[in-house]
Each structure stands twice: as structure tokens, then as C-alpha cells.
Amino acid sequence: MYFSKMHGLSNDFMIVDCLNQTFNPSSEMIKELSNRYTGIGFDQLLLVDKSYDSLFDFNYRIFNSNGNEVEQCGNGARCFGLFLLLKKLTNKKTISVSTKKRHLFIHFIEKNMIKVNMEEPDFKLDNIELSKNILCKNFSVNILNDSLKCSIVSTGNPHCVIQVQNIKTAPVNLISQAIENNSIFLQGVNIGFMEIVNKNHIKLRVYERDVGETQSCGTGACAAVAVGIVKNLLFNNVEVDLPGGKLFIEWKGFGNPLYMIGPAQHVYDGYIYI
């Protein structure tokens, strides 16, 4: 099986062209491939499938390193787009992609810089699988015998955004593991810790469900900025500093799509006997 290793701000992926070869991995196989000591090593596996809808160019599937299929991956979308270009699977400047629950439009700006239309953030909590009804965007979850204020939004997958004073000292793993095990989130949740530098600039760390803290999370950056804009804490164009690098998020508010701009990098091509 032929594959490519790529990354978006150090959030790394194994990408497989399923148009020209057959690959139907089991959860166990994905776990083996994702192992950084005995396999290839990656945060997510991305599969390029043929489109099942004439309105879209390709279908995009995403699996976490533990074998679970997930709905969305923003950094992966940029790498997915660059992969299509490098492998000459498309010659379009803008491509349309269907995912498990959403549609993306990937636009090639220059070299490895890619802009993705992530659609409008979804603050309708009845569209996020929770164990009980929550009637407001800002609510508290009891974590570690304390009440923690959170904001929930979907950017293709569910995110819990927490504002902190200092991103370096925030107890990311401790809080995230407690939230991850909270029964309120039926399908799990990604947790973002946002420090606001000014209205055009935030710092962010993200703990991804099933994976742990990663160097970067595109949908997490989109979620944090969307929450900040809705709460009037941020302007419409925001620079996001993640441990792996910078993303730029643009959103004009409700009724408009959100755009993510950032790099994608090809690392190497390889093949493995399955």
C-alpha cells in the first residue's frame, strides 16, 4: 500500500489514495500503523475516496490513531488538498470535498498555503450529542470538585472551549482528562484552552479526543475564534498561535462561513506491505 506522510503545523497524518488502490483498514490495523515506535506514526489517518455526490470532487475520511472514525480535521483538510495537488489527482485551484457530516471547499493560495472554507460554526447544542439539554452557550461542568465555565461549538466535530489567563500554566491534561471522562459528552469532545492576547490574536492549546494534546488543531482554532467572536472578545480576523505554528481564522459572524488559512507540508512518500 502506497501512502504519504504529511503534517499541518506538526499535526501529522498518513494519507492514502483509495482511488487507485484498495485499502479498508480495521481499527486494529490503524492502531498498529499509528504506533510511532513500530509503525508509521501519525495523529490521524486520512483517506481519499471517490465522491458519492456529483456536487463534490472527492470524499474525505478521517480516523484517529485509536481507529475511531471522526467527522472533521482542519489541519488534515489542508494536507488532503496538497496531497491531491502533488499526486496530480486534481488541477483545480478550488476543490469541493464531502466529509462524514460536512462539506469543505479547499482553495490553493500559493506554494503550501491553503485556505479552507470550514462552513459556519454550529452553536446549536441539539446538533451536538450531549447526555442532557443545555440551554445556553456558556455553561458550567463540574470537574475536579469545581465548576468550570465552558463554551460548546461544532466546527464539524465537537469542541469545548475554555478561556484561561496563561496558556503555559493551564493544567491542560488534568482538566481535559476529567472532561473527556464526563458523561455529558456522549461521543467525546475536543478541549481547547484559549488565552486572548488582544482582539486579533490568541494563543491556543488543544487536547483532541482519543489522541491527547497535539501540536496543532485546525478545527480547534476555528472553534476558539468562533467562541471569542460570539462573545465579543475578538474581531473578525484572528491570528492563532499554536505550539506547532500559526493559523489565521476569518469569520464575519452568524450566517457566514468561517475560513481557515495555514500551511501544509509533505514529508515523504512510502509503501508498506499489509
DSSP result, 166-186: -TTTS-HHHHHHHHHT-TTBT
Coil vs helix vs strand at 116: strand
Are 114 and 264 spatial neighbours (Cβ–Cβ below 8 Å)?
yes
Which CATH number describes the domain made up of 2-119+263-271? 3.10.310.10
- Confidence at residue 129, expressed as pLDDT on a 0 to 100 scale: 58
How confident is the model over 131-147, as a mean pLDDT?
59
Cell readout for 2 is 502506497
Chain segment 22-40, per-residue pLDDT in tens: 999 999 999 999 999 999 9
State how far the Cα of 150 lies from the Cα of 141, in Å rounded to an integer: 7
- Confidence at residue 139, expressed as pLDDT on a 0 to 100 scale: 61
Widest CA span in the chain: 55
Which amino acid is located at 242 in the chain? L
Q: Which residues contact 43 (CB under 8 A, 6 or more apart)?
A: 11, 12, 13, 34, 64, 65, 208, 211, 214
| Annotation marks residue 217 as catalytic | yes
CATH 3.10.310.10 range(s) for the chain read 2-119+263-271, 125-255
Could you say which of 79, 150, 217, 222 is catalytic?
217
Please check the confidence at residue 145 and state whether its pLDDT lies above 80: no
Pick the residue with more confidence: 153 or 102?
153
How confident is the model over 142-163, as a mean pLDDT?
83
Instruction: Kindly report which listed range (89-103, 172-186, 217-231) carries the lowest average pLDDT score.
Output: 172-186
How confident is the model over 257-264, as a mean pLDDT?
97
Q: Kindly indicate the confidence band of residue 102, based on its pLDDT and cuts at 50, 70 and 90.
A: confident
Q: Kindly indicate the confidence band of residue 136, based on its pLDDT and cuts at 50, 70 and 90.
A: very low
Could you say which of 73, 150, 160, 222 is catalytic?
73
pTM for the complete prediction?
Answer: 0.89
Average pLDDT, the chain: 90
Instruction: Kindly report which listed range (39-48, 148-157, 196-205) carries the lowest average pLDDT score.
Output: 148-157
β-pair partners for 62? 46, 70
How confident is the model over 89-100, as a mean pLDDT?
93
- Confidence at residue 135, expressed as pLDDT on a 0 to 100 scale: 42
Q: Kindly indicate the confidence band of residue 144, based on its pLDDT and cuts at 50, 70 and 90.
A: low
Give the up-direction half-sphere exposure of residue 203: CA atoms within 13 A in the CB hemisphere.
10
State how far the Cα of 231 lies from the Cα of 64, in Å rounded to an integer: 31
Architecture per CATH, domain 125-255, reads as Roll (3.10)
Q: Kindly indicate the confidence band of residue 142, based on its pLDDT and cuts at 50, 70 and 90.
A: low
β-pair partners for 104? 97
**How much of the chain, in percent, has pLDDT values that exceed 70?**
92
